[in-house]
Amino acid sequence: MFELIRSNKRRSIALIAGFVVVLCLVGAAVGLLLGYGWQGTVIALVISGVMAFVSYWKSDAVALSVSRAVPADPVQYQRLHNLVEGLCIASGLPKPRVYIVNDPAPNAFATGRDPKHAAIAVTTGLLEKMNRVELEGVVAHELSHIRNYDILVSTLAVTLVGAVALLTNFAVRAMWWNGGRVRREGDRDGGVNPIAIVGIVFLVVSPLLAKAMQAAVSRKRETLADISACQMTRYPPGLISALEKLQADTTVTHAASTATAHMWIEQPMSGVGDHGKMGMWNRMFDTHPPLEERIALLREL
């Protein structure tokens, strides 16, 4: 278990580095394609670096704001606070900030840059549909993400994937409206610079690359968090029952977005069960392993 956690931290560092590299490359491509030369590229790289740095410090606030999460009142949600506090004491974790998302779909997520600066958010639907042991299993799952340092890379992915999408969208729109300004960098006979062609191809591919990296963020981490949660509660049936309820529930989590989908305990967006002609492509970008696989694995414990 502890070796898996250490391996998880190493993969987290590699994924964060990958996200930053993709963001910087997108910034460089934007500078070149808009015809501002290397000076514009340097400026775009600086802007990308600032966005990556700000993402580290403020990505949790962005994730909570995007999900419309509000602080959980200690009196109104005393049961939830007691569960979080009890599990934190048992696992030696500092108590994270506790948030509520007003959404009928049962779901939850954790965010933050480290265990000392973490937050856990649950939907009102989760509180309504889970009994105490099931809710304990879900909370333990999210606390496991905090203990395993999954929250840093998953939270950074929210802003970095969004930044890649914004930069590429801006570049494509700018090239469309400036009448092909990039041709200034081309040959005198009207040809297009090969670097520009590479840049355009990269801008088209980079959002897909960012989405694939986002999917890679959580697939194995969800399984590890499930096992860690059972170790924390010493009661696998609680989490198994919670996952079975999530599997049976078809409500779409409206508070979720494509940028935050990988953070939730269950794939929150619609289309998860697609098995048509496009089913293979949909599953390629799934941010979670199938619930039936996670349940089967926990039954073997």
Nearest CA among 101, 99, 138 for reference residue 245? 138
Asked if 154 contacts 62 with a C-beta cutoff of 8 angstroms, the reply is no
Q: How many helices (H) and strands (E) does the chain have?
A: 10, 4
CA-closest candidate to residue 53, choices 202, 163, 217: 163
User: Among this protein's residues, is 293 annotated catalytic?
Assistant: no
CB 287 within 8 A of CB 218: yes
State how far the Cα of 202 lies from the Cα of 94, in Å rounded to an integer.
42
Distance CA(300)–CA(101), nearest Å, equals: 33
d(CA 261, CA 138): 17
Catalytically annotated residue among 3, 85, 128, 142: 142
Residue where the block lists tokens 């979720």: 256
Q: Is residue 129 a contact partner of residue 115, using CB atoms and an 8 Å limit?
A: no
243 close to 294: Cβ distance less than 8 angstroms = yes
Q: What are phi and psi of 293, to 5 degrees?
A: -70, -40
Q: What are the backbone dihedrals phi and psi of residue 234, each rounded to the nearest 5 degrees, phi first?
A: 60, 25
Q: Which residues are catalytic?
A: 142
